[in-house]
Amino acid sequence: MRIAPHILHVAQPVEGGVARVVTDLVAAQLAAGLRVSVACPRGGTLAYDVRELGGRTLLWDATRAPGHRLPAEVRRLAWLVREVRPDLVHAHSAKAGLAARLAVRGALPTVFQPHAWSFEAAHGVMARLAVGWERYGARWATRVLCVSEAERRTGHRSGVSARWHVIPNGVDTRVFRPDGERARTGPGPLVVCVGRLCRQKGQDVLLAAWPEVVREVPRARLVLVGDGPDAERLRRVAPPSVQFAGATQDTASWYRAADVVVLPSRWEGMALAPLEAMACARPVVVTDVDGAHESLPPGLRPTCLVPSEDPGALAQAVTALLGDEPLRAALGAQGLTHVLDAHDLRRATGAVTDLYRELLGLDAARVGGSDEGRKCTTT
């Protein structure tokens, strides 16, 4: 009797987009008959969701940023790898990618998925150190898995020489879908921004743009959905027309209630929020960072794509959409069709499973590959 391959996912973020991707992969891989474990810190939603799916969780008590605890974190992870004896390690985001590659050092097939590059979040010496590590650490990644061609190009331009694989993000179109009449949450048009409240997601840029939006559309309201380290600072500068909804598992309801969904990120690999919003047939405005161009259908790019850190351009795009209901409906319909065609979750998770099959040298019968998952690129 053949034993199914054992996949160990390693993640430091335990909520938000990275946790969502890991949870979706675990669900698909368990359904395909794989054995799956997840090493992550306590707290957040990730460990609970994985256990609910029937996966195994392992406590890896790691901080978000590198620091004096890193050697102990690497030792703990190396011990976990020896204990569970996975066939393949899949490390998600910068911290897990750092620790996992140091712990495994090429002894097992290792997939590193940046979920946006660490050096884009840093400045000065720290940025140079992060680039230096990614260049060096690439030798211990059997594949570096990017969620967009733009993310791969950013790594390549920064001198990271890797065996690349690109699989665009997908969303669960059974959860994120149009749902009849749009819910009304109050008077006036509603703009929604879903994301961790942090510098990366650029909510401060949106708040800088918001007074101009309200001047043009006086009854407009903005809801920031999420929590994070910048929450208190953002609350202090937000006007009364801005609501902080906090973190929620039910982001789909906010997308459906919105007239426009905005994500003003400073950097990304390929953000999930715009894909989720389009799956709910809502128009989006996103900044032109890695993955944004690829995540939008061509018909949306002239209207919905704006420069990063440009409050004026952001305000102009949001205002234009709020003032044109037929255009919003048309863009929402185009976005929905695009997500169904190119970003369905089953396609993305199937492609990851196919990558595992390739790296483990196994046939599709042993690693549940899917024809949904064939669209990807390797370099």
Give the count of domains, the chain: 2
Quick check: is 184 in a domain?
A: no
Domain harbouring 228, CATH code: 3.40.50.2000
- Based on the domain organization, do 247 and 321 belong to the same domain? yes
Tell me, yes or no, whether 325 and 247 share the same domain: yes
Domain of 141, in residue numbers: 6-170+344-378
Q: Are residues 112 and 136 in the same domain?
A: yes
Give me the torsion for CA of 330, 275, 254, 196, rounded to 10°.
Answer: -140
Q: Is the domain of 197 the same as that of 309?
A: yes
Q: Domain check: are 80 and 110 in the same one? A: yes
227 and 146 housed in the same domain: no
Query: Do 338 and 348 fall within a single domain?
Result: no
Residues 160 and 198 in one domain: no
Same domain, 262 and 298: yes
| Residue 178, in any domain of the structure | no
Tell which residue, 236, 249, 207, 199, has the closest CA to residue 224: 207
Asked if residue 37 is part of any domain, the answer here is yes
Is 177 a domain residue? no
Q: Is residue 55 part of a domain?
A: yes
Q: Are residues 96 and 234 in the same domain?
A: no
Q: Are residues 123 and 236 in the same domain?
A: no
Q: Look at residue 180 and tell me if it is in a domain.
A: no
In a domain, 158, yes or no: yes
Could you tell me the pTM of the whole model?
A: 0.91
Specify whether 352 is located in the same domain as 327: no
179 within some domain: no
pLDDT string in tens for the chain (379-residue length): 568 999 999 999 999 999 999 999 999 999 999 999 999 999 889 999 999 999 999 999 999 888 889 999 999 999 999 999 999 999 999 999 999 999 999 999 999 999 999 999 889 999 999 999 999 999 999 999 999 999 999 999 999 999 999 999 999 999 999 986 555 566 789 999 999 999 999 999 999 999 999 999 999 999 999 999 999 999 999 999 999 999 998 999 999 999 999 999 999 999 999 999 999 999 999 999 999 999 999 999 999 999 999 999 999 999 999 999 999 999 999 999 999 999 999 999 999 999 999 999 976 555 555 444 444 566 6
